[in-house]
């Protein structure tokens, strides 16, 4: 019985699927706008996620982007976390993600502090240039996805046509 | 000093290496004699290019066990692009054209390299097995000589 358990444990690694666990080349751009005497921020995130599997495709991928201070996640706010969905990620594909979130000063300030950007400068300049976010300040969390074998997908498409 | 009986050691060594050689021969044989000629025939076709290339790609998409589509070195990095593009091509029901032949040949080359590696590994284990059997029969003859 013990040998069977060990064998099953080892076999479980054969079909292992690696979900995307990091974002590639993440940049943010912050724009400011004055509305009702209040500063409104628009945070635009430009990034991508990659499917590192060679034989499984992901469909209806749902994830969240968290900002971190290097050690821990920043406090919850309108920009933390930022949810997103991707309809499909094929093997070896990097899918671009472009997100835009409107938030107030209280939501954006912790992020500006981490990036060592003064809020006053952002407001004065109407926003920031594109800022590259290092991996230690950003985190990807996978919520759910469906995966299918690429072989089955391709066979299905070819037979569909026939 | 106690004399160790080597016979069971040589026996099991020879059997195990022979079994491994047999398994590798089946894997290599399937690819070299069945799959690769099939794929080559599909890729050399001049008619029904779309249909034949798709069939060939489907066969190539299932990699040879010792040449899987992972752990790419610098030279084989383009294979990732080929797989990504052709997966999408079929998914989006685009047609294969004659020019796609070059890329399919690259995938075939990877499969061929894998099957040749398997064949060479099989030869290695066959030689090990022959060595084991040689030692087994030599030791057995030596023991029989001692007892007679």
Whether B57 has its CB under 8 Å from any CB of chain A: the answer is: yes
CA distances from A101 to A25, A76, A80 (A): 19, 14, 10
pLDDT digits over B74-102, tens only?
A: 888 889 999 999 999 999 999 999 999 99
Interface subset of B 81-110, CB within 8 angstroms of A? 81, 83-84, 87-88, 90-91, 93
pLDDT digits over B2-53, tens only?
A: 777 888 999 999 999 999 999 999 999 999 999 999 999 999 999 999 999 9
Chain A: nearest CA to B65, how far in angstroms?
12
pLDDT value at A16 more than 90: no
- The alpha helices in chain A, defined as continuous H runs, are 2-11, 105-114, 119-125, 150-161
Q: How far apart are CA A61 and CA A147, in angstroms?
A: 9
DSSP letters spanning A101-121: EEE-HHHHHHHHHHTT--HHH
CA angle B89, B90, B96 (to 5 degrees): 70
Using the beta-carbon criterion (under 8 Å), do B87 and A57 form an inter-chain contact? yes
Residue A7: the pLDDT is 59
pLDDT digits over A102-121, tens only?
A: 999 899 999 999 999 998 89
pLDDT digits over A30-71, tens only?
A: 999 988 888 899 999 999 999 999 999 999 999 999 999 988
Please tell me which of the candidates A54, A150, A158 has its beta carbon nearest to residue B54. A158
Residue of B68, B84, B95, B107 for testing the chain A interface, max A β-carbons within 10 Å: B84
What is this structure's pTM? 0.81
Q: How far apart are CA A103 and CA A79, in angstroms?
A: 7
- 8-state DSSP, B59: H
Q: How far apart are CA A134 and CA A123, in angstroms?
A: 23
pLDDT average, residue stretch A62-82:
93
Residue A81: cis peptide before it, omega within 30 degrees of 0: yes
Please tell me which of the candidates B54, B61, B80 has its beta carbon nearest to residue A150. B61
The rounded percent of chain A whose pLDDT value lies above 70 is 89
Q: Please give the ipTM for the structure prediction.
A: 0.78
């Amino acid at each position: 019985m013990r040998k069977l358990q060990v064998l099953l444990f080892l076999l479980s690694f054969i079909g292992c699927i690696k979900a995307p666990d990091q974002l590639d080349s993440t940049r943010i751009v912050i724009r400011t706008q004055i509305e009702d005497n209040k500063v409104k921020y628009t945070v635009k995130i430009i990034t991508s996620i990659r499917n590192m599997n060679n034989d499984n495709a992901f469909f209806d991928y749902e994830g969240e982007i968290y900002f971190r201070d290097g050690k821990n996640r920043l406090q919850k706010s309108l920009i933390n976390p930022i949810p997103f969905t991707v309809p499909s990620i094929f093997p070896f594909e990097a899918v671009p993600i472009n997100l835009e979130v409107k938030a107030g000063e209280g939501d954006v300030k912790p992020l500006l502090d981490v990036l060592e950007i003064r809020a006053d400068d952002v407001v004065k300049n109407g926003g920031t240039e594109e800022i590259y976010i290092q991996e230690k300040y950003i985190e990807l969390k996978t919520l759910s996805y469906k995966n299918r074998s690429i072989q089955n997908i391709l066979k299905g498409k070819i037979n569909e046509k026939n | 000093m106690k004399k160790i009986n080597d016979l069971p050691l040589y026996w099991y060594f020879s059997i195990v290496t022979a079994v491994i050689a047999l398994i590798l021969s089946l894997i290599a044989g399937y690819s070299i004699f069945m799959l690769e000629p099939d794929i080559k025939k599909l890729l050399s076709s001049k008619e029904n290019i779309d249909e034949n290339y798709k069939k060939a790609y489907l066969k190539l998409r299932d990699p040879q066990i010792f040449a899987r589509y992972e752990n790419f070195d610098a030279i084989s990095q383009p294979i990732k692009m080929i797989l990504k593009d052709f997966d999408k091509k079929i998914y989006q029901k685009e047609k294969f054209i004659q020019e796609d032949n070059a890329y399919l040949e690259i995938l075939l080359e990877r499969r061929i390299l894998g099957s040749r590696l398997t064949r060479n590994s099989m030869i290695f284990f066959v030689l090990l097995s022959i060595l084991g059997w040689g030692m087994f029969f030599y030791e057995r003859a030596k023991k029989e000589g001692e007892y007679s």
